[in-house]
Amino acid sequence: MDRFLQSRKVKSYYINEERYDWLTDPRRLEKIYHRLRAIVYLKNLQKIKRSSWILDAGCGTGLITIHMHPPVVGVDLNLWNLRRLQSRLRDKELIQADLEHLPFRDNCVSIVSCTEVLEHLPSPEKAIREFYRVLKDEGVFIGTVPSIHPVWRFRRYLLTTCPVSEPFHRNYTSRQIREMLKIFPKIKVKCFLLGLNIFFESYKTST
């Protein structure tokens, strides 16, 4: 499928079709997995000392966002997600926007956080360029993606509550993540949760 048409299909799905609350809908092993993923990620986030704004890109219904200390701006393409998240918090700004076309000026945020989102984008490099643009010179882009761990081959059978009907989904190797983030002069990549996921930190400056 042409990448432009595929991108339109993916965006249409997330705007009009996806209705899944990452805080309340997971059950059994999925619930444990998402909680552990959030705990590990937040611990890594807390180690990064930055002032000013955090941009939570693809915030969903707030699995990570609700634990972030303000000031935070949550961005998501899905208005249903944002309305669910708004009912849970009052101290964070929420904006409906396309990650490939962020409505922010250059060099305005200290951290861009993006967890389990890039694998759903047909052209993640476009979003990454936008993240680079809005980051301050000393800013950092951090996030997670699913790895190519063999267990993900059975994703459709293991995930009984999480939707697996997305029109696009990808798994990554550490090398692919480094290549995708090469616009950043300093990159750190590591696996976690028994190798199921990849965590990355990418710095806009090399110091």
| CA angle at 168 for the pair 104 and 32, rounded to the nearest 5° | 85
User: 68-94: per-residue pLDDT in tens?
Assistant: 988 999 999 999 999 999 999 888 899
CATH of domain 3-203: 3.40.50.150
Compute the distance between CA of residue 132 and CA of residue 113 in angstroms, rounded to an integer: 12
Question: What is the distance between the alpha carbons of residues 89 and 178, in angstroms, rounded to a whole number?
Answer: 34
Domain regions of the chain by residue span = 3-203
Half-sphere exposure for 62 (CA within 13 Å, toward CB):
24
**131-157 per-residue burial string, b: 16 or more CB within 10 A, e: under 16:** bbebbbeebbbbbbbbbeeeebeeeee
Quick: pLDDT tens for 135-181.
Answer: 999 999 999 999 999 999 888 777 778 888 888 899 999 999 999 99
pTM of the predicted structure, to 2 decimals: 0.94
